[in-house]
Chain A
Amino acid sequence: MDWGRAKSVLIISFLLLNILLGYQLWGDIREQLNANKNTAELPQETVAIMKQKRIELDATLPLETPKLRDLTYSLTNGGPEAQKEVKLAQPVDSKIIFSPSELQKTLGHIIPDLDQYRFDITMSTDKVWMLYRVADNRPMFDVKLELFYSNQKITSYKQVRVDVLGPGETKEQTVLPASKAVAPFIERNLPDGSIIRDIQLGYHGQTFDTETQVSAPYWRVLMDDGIVYYIHAISGEVAQDKEQQQLDK
């Protein structure tokens, strides 16, 4: 038997096998590299769909993927519906909103827990500055402080006050990266021609007529026309505010 020849054959066949395996492996690695980069950008297919549906992304996709869990809090002054506008005795300059320290200095003694609320310019309108209660440095989208202003003066406010009871017993879970949460949502939910203005991670939940409320981590997606979608940051399910859904139809 010609051992040398047999070896040559074996070498060639293993070489071919190696090339095949190498190709597969390379493909996998490339995909993973891409995927990692995808925290910063959307998958190719989604971009194609966005082009086709004329959907624009006017916001930067957050890169963070922290570990979060649900959050329980209790309402201390009634639910959002129970709130009334409180007039300020002395209207104050509306520019202070842009400087947290000045805001605290001017209104801190009037509005309770003011330091716990953070300004969100994307949800503010030409009549209302919107602030959200912050828990673990993340906004709670159901707990609002609205500052009403006109003629560059803040004249009144409306506030939902809560006690954060802290996280529940559930396990912390890494949230879906924004890009991954948003991709199926863009494909399925968004109507043609929409523009995404902002994407933020925070807490949101179904509100019930109870003192204690439970909220879960959600990506809030704000559209240019003011419609807000909430994407569950762990399961990826998409929700929408009831009232807005009705307006929608």
Chain B
Amino acid sequence: MIERAKTTLLVLLVGLSLLQSYLLAYSMPGLGATVKTEQDYINAEPLGEEASVEDVVFPEELVIHFGGDKHTVLYPGSTFYDMILKERIQGREFKGFQRNPVNVLNWDEVRRNDIGVELRFHNGIPVDLLKKLLKVQGDLLFLNETIDRIWIFKTKDTEDVRTFFFTADGEKVYESAQADLTVRDVQDYVGFGEYQTKYTVTADGIYLPDKPMQSVEMVFPYEVYSPDLMQRNLFFDPGTTKALEDRNGSQIFTDGKRGLQVEQNGKWITYTNPAASQSKDNLLGDNVYASVEFINEHGGWDGVHRFVNASPDKDGKAAKTIMFQQYLNNYPVIETRNFQYGTIRLTLQQGTVTDYTRSLITLADKAKSRQARWLPGGDDLLKALEKYERRSEAVRVFPALQAQPMEDNELRFVPVWGVLLKDGTNDVLLQAYPAGYTPPKTEDETMAPPDGKAADSAGGKESADASVDAGANENAVSGKSGGSGKTASTDGGGSALNKTGTAAGLNAGTMKIKLGGNAALPR
């Protein structure tokens, strides 16, 4: 009897456990499953090349001080810029930061008298990002700063090397007490810049070259991503997307939340995805990471870009606008009023991209044609700056390229002097001399060539990229720094000159420049 009851009970229990297992597994879906999770973009076809944050963070210029109120400026991509930054500064460690008020030293005097080098970041970059470029170790206070200048110099009387990091608010400097830089390093920096065009400083700290500078005008064929492709890339559900037409004739795609505006005949897009502000901080560093990630996934990078801090407010806490300026052939490309090209601009809310504007153009690898052009220097440039209508707002003058659309999917890049204004916008200050014009040589000039960049540029877009690979070669060369490097490179430089056929004005003095160019040349 008992055995029977037991059997029944056992069967019952087995049945019940089966039933319960079934219910658990199938008929009672967890609550989470019914909630539609926020679907991310499906990324079928990545467009363009990817980049990492390291690739877009670099100083906009290096200013070399020779003492005796002599200076020169090196721009990104030029051989000496790379040699100084990549080989002489990047590997070094900066530690033991001490906080000081900015007036701890008389900087005008340091600028005039002490040899050294300045790394400049307009509007500053957060230390968080700076760490991608340099080996920096500091306390929490320092790590939260935004740095707009790093100045490494040798004091005149003593044989000390001092390194200062300037905060963007212009109030503090941090001295790195334990930077592994030697007097020799600083002497090398200065040695590199020796044969460059000298620059004069205006009263408000704008550097202008004393002599004309060679640059190059280029024509590039290009391809355009179709707006359709971009739309598929940016909207996760193309099925819900509607196409509209703007009153100005531009195309608009929207799903009621996201919007994609295609302008300029399908070459320029504005993507908007409104998001609300969140209660946590909007950190510039985080936003830069998010931006790079976003661009990698949506359109990629056409060539080298540099992160530009476009946020005017100095504390960097509410920094929402991120800009990347395109570099072509070592020159930044600045926007023309009637043709938008050259910058990728994003607005973010705590890492969510709400606005994204960029060009859909991808340039060909090689320029179709190139032609040497000269940018005015000395008095011509100074006068142009003094006459410039927004003179009081100017903060920096730099050689740049301006893109002009041509027929048959081609862009012409014309060298100009660009000027950076306080509000972060770029403008054209002065056009280059007409094509074919070569400035008369002065005696001084036969000794010192215009600028290393000009020689570099002969290599074209490909050389800009190649110079990265060339780093290995340069390494070997830079081992013999200073005087020995000069002689060792003489013949190499000569042959490079012949091959590239660089315009007149480049001569014996270019030897060291050609080291880099040489390495990048025969391919």
Identify the A interface with B (CB < 8 A). Answer: 3-4, 7-8, 10-11, 14-15, 17-18, 21-22, 24-25, 28-29, 31-32, 35, 53, 70-72, 168, 170, 176, 180, 185, 188-192, 205-206, 208-216, 229-230, 232, 234-242, 245, 248-249
Interface on chain B toward A: helix, strand, loop, or mixed SS? mixed
Chain A residues contacting B17 (CB-CB under 8 Å) are 14, 17-18, 21
Chain A residues contacting B52 (CB-CB under 8 Å) are none
Among B59-67, B200-208, B275-283, B445-453, the stretch in contact with A: B275-283
Chain A residues contacting B256 (CB-CB under 8 Å) are 70-71, 205-206, 214-216
Chain B residues contacting A71 (CB-CB under 8 Å) are 256
Which listed residue, A170, A205, A213, A240, touches B277 by the CB 8 Å rule? A240
Cα-based distance from A3 to B4 in the complex (angstroms) = 12
Q: Is the CB of A237 within 8 A of B38?
A: yes
Q: Is the CB of A237 within 8 A of B257?
A: yes
Which listed residue, A191, A214, A237, A241, touches B254 by the CB 8 Å rule? A214
Chain B residues contacting A235 (CB-CB under 8 Å) are 36, 38-39, 257
CB within 8 Å of A: which B234-257 residues? 239-240, 242, 244-248, 252, 254-257
If A17-B17, A29-B28, A191-B279 touch, whether A240 touches B242 (CB-CB below 8 Å) is no
If A209-B248, A214-B255 touch, whether A22 touches B20 (CB-CB below 8 Å) is yes
Identify the B interface with A (CB < 8 A). Answer: 2-3, 6-7, 9-10, 13-14, 16-17, 20-21, 23-24, 28, 30-31, 35-36, 38-39, 239-240, 242, 244-248, 252, 254-259, 261, 272, 274-280, 318
Q: Is the CB of B13 within 8 A of A14?
A: yes
Q: Is the CB of B318 within 8 A of A249?
A: yes
25 cross-chain CB contacts under 8 A: A7-B7, A14-B17, A18-B13, A21-B24, A24-B20, A29-B28, A53-B279, A170-B240, A180-B35, A188-B278, A188-B279, A189-B276, A192-B279, A206-B254, A208-B244, A208-B246, A208-B252, A214-B242, A232-B257, A234-B36, A238-B276, A239-B274, A239-B275, A240-B275, A249-B277
Q: Is the CB of A31 within 8 A of B31?
A: yes
Cα-based distance from A116 to B2 in the complex (angstroms) = 78
Which listed residue, B6, B246, B247, B275, touches A238 by the CB 8 Å rule? B275
Q: How distant is A25 from chain B, measured CB to nearest CB, in Å?
A: 6
Q: How distant is B86 from chain A, measured CB to nearest CB, in Å?
A: 38
Chain A residues contacting B9 (CB-CB under 8 Å) are 11
**Residue on A with the closest CB to B261?**
A208
Which listed residue, B30, B35, B38, B276, touches A239 by the CB 8 Å rule? B276
Q: Is the CB of A72 within 8 A of B242?
A: yes
Cα-based distance from A6 to B310 in the complex (angstroms) = 79
Q: Is the CB of B277 within 8 A of A245?
A: yes
**Residue on B with the closest CB to A212?**
B244
Chain B residues contacting A185 (CB-CB under 8 Å) are 276
Chain B residues contacting A229 (CB-CB under 8 Å) are 276
Q: Is the CB of B13 within 8 A of A11?
A: yes
Q: How distant is B89 from chain A, measured CB to nearest CB, in Å?
A: 36
Chain B residues contacting A239 (CB-CB under 8 Å) are 257, 274-276
Q: How distant is A57 from chain B, measured CB to nearest CB, in Å?
A: 16
Cα-based distance from A144 to B412 in the complex (angstroms) = 48
Q: Is the CB of A209 within 8 A of B247?
A: yes
Cα-based distance from A192 to B35 in the complex (angstroms) = 27
Q: Is the CB of A210 within 8 A of B244?
A: yes
Chain B residues contacting A206 (CB-CB under 8 Å) are 254, 256-259, 272, 274
